[in-house]
Amino acid sequence: MAVRIALLGCGFVAEFYMQGLREVSGQEVVAAYSRSAERAEAFARRWNIPHWTTEMSAAARRPDVDLVLIALPNDRHLEATRVAAQAGKHVVCTKPLARSGAEAAEMLALVHNAGILHGYAETEVFSPAVVRVRELALSGALGRLCTMRSREAHSGPHADHFWDPARSGGGALMDMGCHMFEAFRYFLGKEDRAVECIAWGDLMVHKDRTQAEDNAVAMVRFASGALGVAEVSWAALGGLDLRNEVYGERGAAFTDVTRGTPVRAFTRGGGGYVLEKADADSGWVFPVPDEARVYGYQSEMRHFVESVAAGTQPRETYADGLAVNRIVDACYRSMKSKRWELVEA
């Protein structure tokens, strides 16, 4: 029997989720939710989803729904999780799990108390390139991991809610640092707990758009002594820049899925969509083939569907989202204190 899904949200990340799901067998998206009737109807028509609604609880409580997939702005994740938990439906939430560690802890308590399966949709640790580096680390090819460096940068978010720290919980560090912090945990093994952070962040370019930081650098020290360095920017022109470097005592591994693509093209313009956060569609462009697969959307959607079908917890859960939120919290405290800050256990 297929895993039947209610998709909450019909925006940018929901499009990627649908692109990932279309290659996953054993699932069916039976309902879509948006606060906008026009958007919900158009999204449902585009993806051949049989039902749409502007009432979140109506989508989650449908008797033909097994899994609630949250693709909403950060300030609505707690509400959506509560709705799924009250309906007794398994739930998967996009990143970051919440706007703070306290909010994430409340969400984790909701799913625990409801006895439902819960997944944290962090694409970075499902990206085939990142998974391969983790396999190299597990095989011993890199030796004991010592340092990691990750960078994600582009010219700024696509939707207004990202720019409002009251809705998002922060700026560029919240938006993109969450990817890197979970990648660090994944590379090292999650038993290697993050213990302290030091961070810098500043609003350098988009002063007319937000009060949050549009550039940040964070260092995360783990119990093993390993160090992760995260660099993020909402002020980097040239399209999405997404890279990882992992250094061990016996080797190193590198990923670059946006600047080192196998496709080059030259266009005078008018070609339409090139890749996520592209700043131009003319001249030399470097399209990413099959973004949903390269970024990890297809793999994570398959994993979550298979987990629900088997009745087993996914490998990324709300507990992982909470761990990431607590790292982000420590980084924001450090931006204010200008010193190392402990990560809440």
- The half-sphere exposure of 271 on its side-chain side, counting CA atoms within 13 A, is 16
Distant-in-sequence, close-in-space partners of 256: CB < 8 Å, separation ≥ 6 = 242, 243
What are the extents of the domains in the chain?
Answer: 3-123+297-315, 125-292+326-342
* Conformational region of residue 176, where left means phi above 0, alpha means psi within -120 to 50, and beta covers everything else: alpha
Walk along the chain (345 residues) and give the pLDDT tens digit of each residue. 799 999 999 999 999 999 999 989 999 999 999 999 999 999 999 999 999 999 999 999 999 999 999 999 999 999 999 999 999 999 999 999 999 999 999 999 999 999 999 999 999 999 999 999 999 999 999 999 999 999 999 999 989 999 999 999 999 999 999 999 999 999 999 999 999 999 999 999 999 999 999 999 999 999 999 999 999 999 999 889 999 999 999 999 999 998 887 787 777 776 565 555 566 667 777 777 788 899 999 999 999 999 999 999 999 999 999 999 999 999 999 999 999 999 999
Which CA distances in Å does 278 have to 272, 275, 286? Answer: 11, 6, 9
Q: What angle do CA 209, 214, 216 make, to 5 degrees?
A: 165
Q: Are 274 and 288 in contact (CB under 8 A)?
A: no
Q: Distance between CA 196 and CA 206 in Å, rounded?
A: 29
Is 103 in a helix, a strand, or coil? helix
Write down the CATH number for the domain with range 125-292+326-342. 3.30.360.10
Burial of 178 (0-12, 13-18, 19+ CB in 10 A): buried
Q: pTM score, two decimals?
A: 0.94
DSSP string, 2-54: PEEEEEE--SHHHHHHHHHHTT-SSEEEEEEE-S-HHHHHHHHHHHT-SEEES
Preceding amide of 73 cis, omega within 30: no
- Topology of domain 3-123+297-315, per CATH? Rossmann fold (3.40.50)
